[in-house]
Amino acid sequence: MSRHRSLILAAAVLTTVAGAAHGFQASVTKTPVRPTDATGVFINEREVASAQIDALVKMYGGAPPKGRYWYDTRSGLYGYWGFEAAGYIRPGHDFGTLSSRASNGNTGVFINGREINLTEAAFFQRVFGVVYRGNFWLDGRTGYVGVVGNPTPVANLADAIQRSGVMRSSEYHWRDGSGAVVSSSGNCTFASIPGAPVYSTPGCG
């Protein structure tokens, strides 16, 4: 069974407003012109090029709205800048270096260099039963979690989520205009995301 999970990149719109540019003569005002490659989408404090936006559309069937996000290339987790993880896409995209302060964390728990905040720590508390301070790595392709400096995993996040009952606490169904579908009922969790393998737990039969 593949452990590869993906969720379509989605976030809130943040409009950027540029001030008017003035000419050399006081009576002449020029209309500001945005660079042709400007996208208004910032990931890891870097504006994403239009070519990368096109690649996201091709892979996931949609582009992220204008706004500011963080993305963890090793785990595939992403979120609004300054907040906890909001979802998961394919690992391995090159959106620059992830800052340790991307989520405004204050827990002393670091995942792939990003300090998680209390909301995210509470989620991992529900999943694992305990959360320790320290530096951990998370591999989004396998779901394995380990301590930085030691390649041997100590847990598997996908397995832990299933055993914890977090996904079984309620029934939910999610769909968006891209064709992505995520559904959960009882022991079954099913995800079908454009550009990614279909994922389902054994409880789906």
Q: Which residues pair with 173 in a beta bridge?
A: 183
Q: Is the pLDDT of residue 196 over 70?
A: no
Can you read off the two tokens belonging to residue 61?
């069937």
Q: What is the DSSP string of 75-122?
A: T-EEEETTS---EE--TT----PPPTTTT---SSEEETTEEP-HHHHH
**76-95 pLDDT, tens per residue?**
998 899 999 888 888 999 99
For the chain, the domains span 35-169
**157-176 pLDDT, tens per residue?**
888 888 887 765 443 343 33
